[in-house]
Amino acid sequence: MNKVLHEVWEAQDGRTGLILAGEKGDDARKLFREDDMELVHTFNAGSHFEAMTIYYAYKGWGEYTSDFEEHDKLSYDE
């Protein structure tokens, strides 16, 4: 399973966002920068579910759950 680099961005007022690093995140990254958000953390994940699980743990939000767990657990390769 290939892992994909993700970026966590945050603003001074507490707003936060998670995007893909690289070209796929370029549009969101541009908006984040316009909103004075800063890159605060990066990590690798192999699926949407894994990425959100890591993101929730990083933010201290508890356990990530999904109504679409079967789909969200598909690797990015699939």
Domain residue ranges of the chain, discontinuous segments joined by +: 4-72
Which pLDDT value is given to residue 78? 81
Q: What token pair was written down for 13? A: 């007022």
pLDDT tens string, the chain, 78 residues long: the values are: 799 999 999 999 999 999 999 999 999 999 999 999 999 999 999 999 999 999 999 999 999 999 999 999 999 988
Starting at the edge strand that comes first in sequence, how are the strands of the sheet with 16-20 ordered?
16-20, 4-10, 38-45
Which pLDDT value is given to residue 77? 87
Taking only Cα atoms into account, the Rg of the chain, rounded to an integer number of angstroms, comes to 13
Q: What is the pTM assigned to this prediction?
A: 0.92
Using alpha carbons only, what angle is made at residue 40 by residues 42 and 33, rounded to the nearest 5 degrees?
105
Which pLDDT value is given to residue 30? 97
